[in-house]
Amino acid sequence: MTETAAKNVKPLFSQEEIAARVTGLAHEIAASEPKRLLAVIVLKGGFVFAADLVRALALENVRLEIEFISLSSYGTRQKTSGEVRVVRDIEVEVAGRDVLIIDDVLDSGLTLKFARDLMQTRGARRAAIAVMVNKPEARRAEIEADYVGFTCPNYFVVGYGMDAAHAWRELPYVGVFESTPSGTG
């Protein structure tokens, strides 16, 4: 693990731990026997986790359709107004379908609360949420994820899709800065 670690980014959850957790989550999701499953991947951060999760779901014989949504919360990450808007929407109807919203991290919860409310308003039969990292201490909206990879304290994490000032998304593990990060999500 250490030989692949980027300088200054200390692994918190390794590639191996993540792979095992993704397999476990796919198993849990398959056990819920989703009907007409639509995976809604939240860009940009959700793309790495989603790529692994949909393939793990295939190995569980879960068929699904994939759509992408891009959301942005107004203001900076530290001081968000709580206002979320759709930057790029999905392109299919969700009425009557089981939707699985896939994102990188559940932080304040404002983004995923908005996404789930949106899918429910559009008539989804079920709108479940899967995240790789849950940071319960940061929560500002009343929301929990149905499927969580790992729970961690209120660290700023990067890698596995998560960025700091647009960098580090490509790291195959979830890490924390050894020194204070300069960027924001």
Can you give the binding site for ligand IMP, defined by CB under 6 A?
Answer: 45, 73, 77, 103-112, 156-158, 162-163, 185
Token pair recorded at residue 92? 């299919």
Binding mask 16-45 for Mg ion (x = CB under 5 A): -----------------------------x
Window 44 to 73, contacts with Mg ion (CB under 5 A): 45
Our CB check for ligand IMP shows the closer of 61 and 78 to be 78
Active site residue 98: no
Quote the CA–CA distance of 171 and 163 in Å, as a whole number: 10
Q: Are strands 126-134 and 9-13 parallel, antiparallel or unpaired?
A: unpaired
Q: 52, exposed or middle or buried, with CB in 10 Å at 0-12, 13-18, 19+?
A: buried
181 binds Mg ion (CB under 5 A): no
Name the catalytic one among 98, 107, 117, 163: 107
Q: Which does 134 bind (CB under 5 to 8 A by kind): Mg ion, ligand IMP, none?
A: none
Minimum distance from residue 68 beta carbon to Mg ion (Å):
12
Angle between helices 15-31 and 47-59 (to 10 degrees): 60
The rounded distance, in Å, linking the Cα atoms of 123 and 143 is 19
Helices within the chain (DSSP H only): 15-31, 47-59, 110-121
Asked whether position 109 contacts Mg ion by CB under 5 A, the answer is no
Residue whose CB is less far from ligand IMP, 74 or 92: 74
Task: Give the catalytic positions in this structure.
Answer: 107
